[in-house]
Structures are given as structure tokens and as C-alpha cells.
Structure 1
Amino acid sequence: MALYRFVPVLIAGLSMMLPIAAQADAVVDSPAGKLRGESVGDVQVFKGIPYAVPPVGMGRWKPPVALPRWNDVRDALQFGPACMQPKSRPGSLYADEPAATSEDCLLLNVWAPKEVRNAPVLVWIHGGALTTGFSSQTLYNGTKLAERGVVVVSINYRLGILGYLAHPGLSAESPLKVSGNYGLLDQIEALRWVNRNIAAFGGDPANVTIAGESAGALSVMYLMASPPAHNLFAKAIAQSAYMISTPELKRPKFGEQAAEGIGSRLATALGAPDVAALRSMDATKLVEGAGRLGYFPLGTIDGAILPRQLVEVFDRGEQAKVPMIAGFNSGEIRSLRFLAPPAPADAATYESAIRSRYDDLADDFLKLYPASTLEESILATTRDALYGWTSERLVARQTAMGRPGYLYLFDHGYPAANDAGLHAFHASELPYVFGTADRTSAFWPKIPATEAEASLSNAMIDYWASFARTGDPRASNQPDWPAYGSTRTYMHFADKPQPAAHLSPGMYELNEEVVCRRRAKGGQPWNWNVGIVSPALPPREDCRR
């Protein structure tokens, strides 16, 4: 149990907790081999554990391969390198540069309570647009969740061009005749490692929850949709997921180019005539070159690893049949303004643009996103089309298949964030879920060390840990979190957790109709082309539910 629950003077601030000296005295003998970690209070920490053969040389753009057991005791006292990635944008509040990067990066970290058996396991998948991020970011420290009795695992996976490139030459090499999705295959291999090894750390391989935020939540949806992953986890948490249209391997669809075509053109632009030339290129030059050329990594619909578009998988009930938490933040786009178009000159121009694009849905749209609050409406439009609709769709589809779904809205602000115009911005829930308010990056609005902030964080840690344990999110001295169910209930995390019903009435229905029409038409993606930059929507009769 966390120290601040017993010492009143410390509960006033998350950052006031006294540091506990680490001792390198934790040794486990797992099927992978013996590991020496460190003890930090009542938690044992093991860092930089390899879960697959390094994907270098001829292993580049190959599915991951499990490591053979090592014989000696392996030190797991230092975090390993992050996967290859570009540098963060200068001044970004998400800037958190890894100490080192390498292609030899298929590593994971474990935080485990001491002397536990059959503890719930939470596998954390970092965000970063499938382009940046790493498992050892200080924001993702698993100590607080481990103090609640959860074994926490955070994983690296291949990113960018090295993780998601599809190419005809790579497909020709594959026994399945597919390519792309290497980062997703890494995540699946990490889950297999957990299945084989986590009992040695006190975890229950039959009680694994996958969890992630942003691109990590996109990865959670990919895992839920991927048949090879289905028996490797029992629950799922998706924080700020986005169920956008995704390139298909060999054919253009929904306004997206074929993934192999994207890869071929990228390779040509990089000066690589074939796969052998790509493999001979320096990894840093590949990553930087792909970035300059505007390559944006996504999963590939290949019929095997990802059999269909996510919306179709979830409509057909082919996703993993597991309980789920999904939710989003009220200010998602406040820190991601590049995802939203600039506001037009005046309200009349805005309303005219919406009516010309949304036709019979324009009145419903303008009711939700009125011209009278122009800039806020622009931000809310993109937020809901990406994150709000996705979150509610996920829990609605799990509910329909008889599994509990729990929806949330994170709507919490604090002075530094509010003063910067960043109330409840994208990822701002993470320090509360992990209890890492004192470990945010340099440009992150500083969270005050107050009893109110600590209380909200304690509640969210409790809810997440409880869900990982039983599938029922509960928190000490906090209201019960009802399942979405027929009343469309959600948890509103503002200053305190408070259950409510029917989040933003009409929002889900509008976006569901828009996506349905675009799917029926076939030539329009459903990602960032919403609001005043939306193409003219297909007519209602094109939509067949």
C-alpha cells in the first residue's frame, strides 16, 4: 500500500513522497532465463528484458523470433534503448528524448509486487503515432499500480518505417504473402513472452489486460482485431483510441493508397530499388528520410494479421470478446491543433461550409458544433470524430457481444494547464493513471502537489487496478463505475469521479452515420477530414446498416 495513505502530511502532494533506495537483490528464474532486478520498497523492478531476437540485418522487416533461454543470470537493472525514431518537435509538451535508440530494441520492463502469486497483469503499450515513444518513459513508471497488487509490463515495439513498411518484395518473402504490421507482430510476441514468463514474477498469465493511450490505444484495437492475439489477453483498456480507416495491402480503398504501393514509392524516393537495398541502408537515414517524405505509419489490412477494417471487425463481432475500458479527454485537440483546420473568418462562412458538406445532417451537426462558439466547435468536431466516437463505439460493441464496457470522459483541469489553454489535453490523464505527476516532461504543464490532485490520481489508479484484477473498476471511497449498458453510462473524471449518462447526446449517432455513408461509398476515408474540411457526404441511401 502506498506510503501516502498512512502519512497525512504526505498526501498533500504526489511529489513529496520520500525516495526509497533501490537494492539490486531481486532475482527470478523465468523460462526465458534468470534475471537480476532491483527492489524499490515493496516492488521489484526488472528493466530492459529482451523478448525477441534483435531485428537487425536480414531480420529487418521480418516477424519477431523468440529468444532461446540464456544460461547465466542476466542483469535487468538498466532500461534499454528505445526503438529507432525521429527527434521530438522542439518545444513539444510531449518531448521526452530517449537516452539511446537502436534497432536492437525489442525489450520490456516489469514492475511486480513482492511475494505475490497469480496477480493481475497489465501490459502497457506506449503512444507516439506509431512513430515515437518508448516503454521506459518516466510517465509510465509502474510502481504505483504495482503497489495496488498489479504486475505491470511496458513494452517497446518497432516504429515508423522499420515497424510498419509494406512492400511487394517483403510480401514475396513472407509465407503468408503479406508485409507491414511488424510493430504489431512485436506486440503479439511480447504478449507471448508474458504468457510464458510472467508467472515467475508473480503474475497470472490467464489474467492479462492490454492497455495503451493514443497510438497505444490504436494498437489495443489492432490486437483486439488480430486473430493471432486473441488468446493472449483477457481485458483491454483504450485511452484516446482512434478508429480511422487503414490502408489495405494490395488495393486502394476508402480513399487510402494500397500499402504496398505506399512502400514502393517510399523505397524509390529513398533511392532503394529493392528490399536488399533497403536492408543495407543505415537505420537512422531510413527513419529520417521517411520522416522528410511524410511517411505516416499505420497497420495494414492484410487478411491475416489484420483481416478487415477495424470498424468492420467490430461490427461483425470478430474482435476479442473481453471486458473493456475506453474513453477520451475533453480537450484532446487543444494540444494537437495541427489535427484541426483553422477556424474560418466568420460564423456565416462556417455555417455555409457545414451545410454544403453535411447536407441533411447539417442541422444535427450545427446543434452539436454551433457557429456561435466557432473555435471551440472546430476543436470539438475533430475530437469527437477521432476519439469520442471511437470510445463510445468500442464499449457499445463489447456490450452488444455480452461483455461489459466502461466508458469515461477525462475532463480535469488544473491551473497551469488551464492557463495555457490546455484543459484536459491529449494524454493529460496519464500522470493520474500511473501516479507520476512528479515525472512529467519539461514542457508539460506542472501538476500542483495538492491533496485534490493526489486524490483524483489515487482514484484512477484504483479503478484501473481493480479492472485489471476483476474486470470491474472500483475505487476506495469513490462511486461505483457502472457499465455502459442500455443506459449509456460513463464516468466523468473532473475534479472528482462522478457517474453520468448519455455522453454528448447526438455525437455518437452523427459520427456513426457519417462513417456508415463513407464506408458505403467506398472512396472516402474517415480520419481527419471532418467539419469544414469534410468532402461532401454521400447520400443517406448509400448507407446500409
Structure 2
Amino acid sequence: MNYVAGFFLKWTAALCLLCWSLPALAGAELQRPTTAGPIEGTLLADGAIQAWLGVPYAKPPVGALRWRAPQTPEAWTTPLKTQAMAPVSLQMKGKTPVGSEDCLYLNVFRPNDQSANLPVLFFLHGGNNQTGSAAFFDGALIAEKTRSVVVTVNHRLNALGWLNIKVVKTGDPVEDSGNFGLLDIRKALAWVHDNAAFFGGDKTNISVCGFSSGARNALCMVISPLFKNSFHKLITFSGGMTTSTPEDGARIATKALAQLVLEDKKAATEREAIDWLNSATPEVAAYLRNLPAERFAPLMANANIRMGVFPHLFTDGATLPADGFAAVERGQYNKVPMLFTSGADEFTVKANADPYFADTRASLDDPRKEKEYAFATKYGSMLFGYINAERNAMLFSAVKGQPPVFASRFLWGANPLVVGEKAGKLIGGTHGMDICILLEQERPAFKVSDEIFSADNKPGRQAMARLLQGYLGNFMRTGDPNGVGLPRWDPWSNAAGHSGLLFIDADKTTATARMGARIVREQDVFRQMREDDGLSPERKEFIVKHILNGRFFSNNLDMLWR
């Protein structure tokens, strides 16, 4: 963009912002300026919400921009219609690639009125950084219930978003990190800073929020020097502090890419294919950049929350500290108020997805499999929940100068009197149930029986949704979830005897939230596993090695728990 055009666009945007603060003209309230050009949105939620969907925040990362840092989009002057979400980032759906490599778009939601200086929620979706999209999060609902501006983001996934190998490096330390998905998130957040005011948002009050891998990305934003002072609160749904080394990333990704090399007969053996990729010649670079994007989506797609299968969030020393979350202990991170949530039965849906328990999903009649399933889900959930709540809270709260930290555990889903016996055993307070209730959704993945989301328990679910939405809105505004009509939520303390977590549950009609001292500690879990006499030592060894080991919450568990 030349100087004159750039000046004109910025002047026009400033003038439009001034005009927007005046009463809106009929039909004009859905057009907004942005730093790249004007956009035209739509109304959602029966007219209660203004939305701008599929807004480009960077150039399409295709062709020469594959495995490059995201670039500022070309400016436009004619209003761009942003009334439908963009395609999902390229990923696997079952055994089929879906979506597009052209994926760097975000969505904006706000109440349909003239209010300004609203808190901003910047949401990152889950899916192990391999699947998922911004469409998961109902931004219209949350904008309405919390009176905020909600921004949901698509970014690059799988090997297109996370690749740390020699041949794609350019000499720029940030770009050479391989953390292209994280760089996309930085670009989207910069867009929010530049444009939030046009949508009535307060860029000095941004809450970064994520679910699952989105929560892990958000936690990495806390320690990344690229995000210093760029957001003001952190909210995570079931996310822990996990990173990978560049060395693991290069080794595992190169082995995966070697399969493509073999398919295309560029080498005769896997060893030759790996050596050819590691040679990083112009021929190798051209080969990888010219491959159809769909061929990258299946690589490492069987990770199922195993970082060892699909390494990402590389501790490269430029985008993330070389020693990862040890930066927290040094106090070198973005100190903001934090709110962490986790489920009481985090591991059930992951155990259900494991082929070994296929028979258990269909029936609980096999006594041996049922005992093994109970062992895996009990201790897997304790460890997964600990990683997502207690460990986060303990580590950050120990740092001098850290603002208040709040942590909770979501119990709903386990009570057979509320959800039925089958759902209580196979689902419980599983990974994602809390955000499912927050968004007032009945997720198909959880429907193992007709009783889990029933007309009888809907009043209780609705009461929990109001509770969670109230806590979320208060925290976004002030950094404290507490407010009128809500049960007291005390901040975390590492002091002995502190009650610790807020436990959230409901019966069929009424929601409850209470502080409790039932804290999970990793070493206590290992001790209980050793002492558990429900399985023989041999079967415990099998479940630990083949079902629990190598997950985000249990790296090298087979050595640690003994």
C-alpha cells in the first residue's frame, strides 16, 4: 500500500469511528471500517447480535506464503461482505481432508446497540491443533449473555501450522520457530488491537480464552515474548502447560513427511527419504511447497492428545522460551488475572476414542474390560484434571506479583440420577462438558444415551449456564468472577488448608457452586494407582503403557508411576 492510499484509509477509518459513536442510520450500523477496508456484517440471534463473519486478518498462507509468518492483507475500498464464516482450516474429518489452506479469517460478534468500551473476548478453539474451527464457539450467545465483543479465530493446523524442519527456514528467528499457528494467533490479536474500537470493543481490556489445545495455545501466549502486554486476562477451559522441543518436532515431522516422499518415488527407502528431506536443497523446498495442501492433513493425525505423535508449540527460544514454562518460575511472563477450569472426568471421551475400549463403549457387560476402563478413566481423569487446573494454579500463584488466580472443577455429568447410569460411567464431567454447558449446547459426541441431555435435567443445565456466563462476564470486565447473585469464588492460594477449587454441579433443576479442598496432586495419584487392587499388576502395566502413557498429562508415565 502506498503512502497516500494508506493515509486515506486510516483517515477514513478514524472518521467512520467518530460517526459510529453517533446514533446509527438505518441499515448503516452493519458496516464498519477496518484498517484494511470497510466490511459489512449481518444480524444474528433474532436481531440481538451484530456479527461480521469471515473477516480476513492476513493474506492467504498459500503458494510462496506456505510456512511463512502471516502477512498483512491487501487493502480494499469497496465494502467487503462478511456475512458467512470462512471454510475451516485444512484438516481431517474421518478419513477425508476438508477445509482450505486459505484459512486466516476471524469472526466478530457484539450486542446490537450503540454501547462502547465493551470488554473483548478473544477465543481460540480446540482440536489438538489438528482439527476444529472458530465455529465451535457460539460468539453470538456469549456476546449477548456477557455484553461483550467476542472474536473467534481460525488459524493454520496440523503440519501446515506447526512444522519445525530445516528446509522451511528463512533465517528469521521468529519465522523459523515452526510455530506458524501461534504466529497466526499473534496476527489476529494485532488485528483486534487495531480494530476493536470500530466494533465498540476496549482494546485495553482483552481476555484471551481457549478450550483444550486453544487453552494450551493461550497458556503459551502467557510465556511468549511476542505477546508481552498484548492482553489483560486469561481464561482456559481444560488446557495445560505443554510444549515440544524443536528437535522432537524435526525428527517426528521428517519421518511423517518421508511417507509422502516414498509415495512420490523421490526415494526408495524411508532412510533415504529422511536424508533427502534433511538435505534441505532447493529441490526439497520446491517439492514441499508445491505439494497439494490436502496431502499434509493426514500426517500425524492419530495423535489423540499425544504430543509425542504430533509435536507442536516448539520451545525455539524466539517465539517461546527455550526452557518452556520454566519462565513462569523466573517470573518472566505476562502477569494477568487467570481463570482455569477442568472436568472431574476429563479422560472419558479420550478413553472412549481408544480402539481398545470399543467393546466397552457398546456395552459395560464385560467385567474385565469394565474394570480396566474404570482404572483408565479414574486415574487418567485425575491426571488430566490436575494438569488443567491444580498445576496451573499452583505454579502461577507461587510467583510474586501475580494477580489473582481462580480455578474450578466441573462435576456435572457423573450423577446417574441426573444423566442416567450409562452416561454417568462413559461421559461424566468429561473434557469439554463445562464449555458445552456454557454455550448451552447438546454435543452429539456426549450422547451415549438419551438421558444425558434430557428435558428433565434441562432446567439444571440452564441454571449452570447462567452461573458460568455470570462468572465469565464478571471476570472479563474486572478480573474477578464474583458478582451479585453468584456463589462466592475464592482465589487460589498455595497456603496450607486453603479450600482451593470451586466445584460446579447441578441436579435436575438447580445449579450449585461451592469451594472445596478436594485437590488432586500428581504424586498422590501415582500412589493410588500403585495401591489400587482392582486390577492385577500386569493389567495395570498394560493400561498405563498403552492407554495412558504419552498423553499431554502423562509423558513417560510408565516410568513415573512406579
- Report TM bin, short chain: 0.7 to 0.9
Aligned-pair distance for 1:226?
0.9
Q: Are 2:36 and 1:32 aligned?
A: yes
Partner of 1:365: none
Aligned-partner SS, 1:108: strand
Cross-structure match for 1:362: none
Corresponding residue for residue 275 of structure 1:
285
- Map 1:404-483 onto structure 2 (within 5 A): 404-413=404-413, 415-416=418-419, 419-420=422-423, 421-437=426-442, 440-441=443-444, 444=447, 447-449=453-455, 450-474=458-482, 476-483=484-491
SS at match of 1:188: helix
Question: 2-side partners of 1:117 and 1:383: how far apart?
Answer: 42
> Which piece of structure 1 moves more, 323-332 or 398-407?
398-407
In the alignment, residue 469 of structure 2 is paired with which amino acid?
A: I
Q: Counterparts of 1:56-67 in structure 2 under 5 Å?
A: 56-67=62-73
Distance in 1 separating the partners of 2:232 and 2:554: 37
Is the CA contact (8 Å cut-off) linking 1:326 and 1:406 kept in structure 2?
A: yes
Letter in 2 for 1:54: P
Q: Which residue in the other structure is 1:81 paired with?
A: 87
1:374: how far off? 6.3
Closer/same/farther in 2, CA of residues 530 and 206 from structure 1, 3 Å limit: closer
1:51 and 1:190 in contact (8 A); partners too:
yes
Taking structure 1 as reference, are residues 508 and 418 closer, same or farther at Cα in structure 2, changes over 3 Å only? Answer: farther
How far apart in 1 are the matches of 2:389 and 2:40? 40
Query: Conserved in 1, the CA contact under 8 Å of 2:501 and 2:519?
Result: no
Contact 1:462 1:476 in 2 (8 A): no
Q: Which amino acid aligns with 1:269?
A: Q
Give per-residue Cα distances to partners, 1:343-388, cap 9 Å, x unaligned.
9xxxxxxxxxxxxxxxxxxxxxxxxxxxx98643432322232331
1:121 aligns with 2:120: yes
The CA distance in 2 between the partners of 1:455 and 1:383, in whole Å, is: 25
SS of 1:325's equivalent? strand
Q: Which amino acid aligns with 2:503?
A: H
Please give the root-mean-square deviation of Cα atoms over the aligned residues, in Å. 3.3
Deviation digits for residues 63-86 of structure 1 (CA, Å, limit 9, x no counterpart): 111224321111111111110001
Q: TM-score if structure 2 supplies the norm length?
A: 0.74
Kindly state the Cα deviation for residue 418 of structure 1 after the two structures are TM-superposed: 5.1
1:326 offset after TM fit, Å? Answer: 0.7
CA distance in 2, matches of 1:55, 1:280: 13
Counterpart in 1 of 2:396? 398
Matching of residues 149-164 of structure 1 within 5 Å: 149-164=147-162
**Equivalent residues of 1:340, 1:379 under 8 A apart:** no
Rounded to whole Å, the distance in 1 between the matches of 2:193 and 2:168 is 29
1:310-356 deviations in Å (ceiling 9; x for gaps)? 4412222222101111121011111110688979xxxxxxxxxxxxx
Matches for 1:93-492 after TM superposition, within 5 Å: 101-113=99-111, 114-137=113-136, 139-176=137-174, 178-244=176-242, 246-250=243-247, 258-271=248-261, 273=277, 274-291=284-301, 296-337=310-351, 375-401=373-399, 402-413=402-413, 415-416=418-419, 419-420=422-423, 421-437=426-442, 440-441=443-444, 444=447, 447-449=453-455, 450-474=458-482, 476-485=484-493, 486=495, 487-492=498-503
Percent identical pairs in the alignment equals 27
Given that residues 145 and 465 in structure 1 are in contact (C-alpha distance below 8 angstroms), is that contact kept between their aligned partners in structure 2?
no
Structure ID, larger Rg: 2
Match of 2:54 among 37, 48, 61: 48
Structure 1 gaps, min length 5: 1-22, 90-96, 251-257, 344-371, 515-524, 540-545
Aligned length in residues: 459
Cα distance per residue 1:84-122 (max 9 Å; x no partner): 001147xxxxxxx99x61111101111112212111011
- Of structures 1 and 2, the one scoring higher in RCO (CA 8 A, sep 6+) is 1
CA contact (8 A) 1:331 1:426 kept: yes
The 3-state SS of whatever aligns with 2:332 is coil
Secondary structure at the counterpart of residue 408 of structure 2? strand
**Equivalent position SS for 2:93:** coil
Range 154-163 or range 235-244, more displaced: 235-244
| 3-state SS in 2 of match to 1:110 | strand
Which of 524, 536, 539 is matched with 2:559 structurally? Answer: 536
2:503–2:516 Cα contact (<8 Å) kept = no
1: CA distance between counterparts of 2:72 and 2:192? 12
Q: Report if aligned partners of 2:427, 2:446 keep a CA contact under 8 Å in 1.
A: no
Give the residue type in structure 2 aligned to 1:419: K
Unaligned runs of 5+ in 2: 1-26, 267-276, 278-283, 358-369, 530-547
- Is residue 494 from structure 1 mapped to residue 505 from structure 2 by the alignment? yes
Distance 1:62 1:201, change over 3 A: same
Deviation readout 1:461-514 (Å, 9 max, x if unpaired): 1111111111110355221211112325221111123222323354477679x9
Q: TM-score normalised to the size of structure 1?
A: 0.76
Contact 1:222 1:306 in 2 (8 A): yes
Structure 2: distance between partners of 1:65 and 1:462: 37
Q: 1:538 to 1:134 in 2, by over 3 A?
A: closer
Q: What is the alpha-carbon distance in structure 2 between the residues aligned to residue 473 and residue 532 of structure 1?
A: 33
SS of the residue 1:242 aligns to: coil
Q: Match of 2:500, as an amino acid?
A: T
The 1:538/1:383 distance shift into structure 2, 3 A limit, reads closer
How far apart are the structure 1 equivalents of 2:293 and 2:379? 38
Shifted more, 222-231 versus 413-422: the winner is 413-422
Counterparts of 1:159 and 1:336 in 2: how far apart (Å)?
Answer: 20
Q: Is the 8 A contact 2:90 2:101 kept in 1?
A: yes
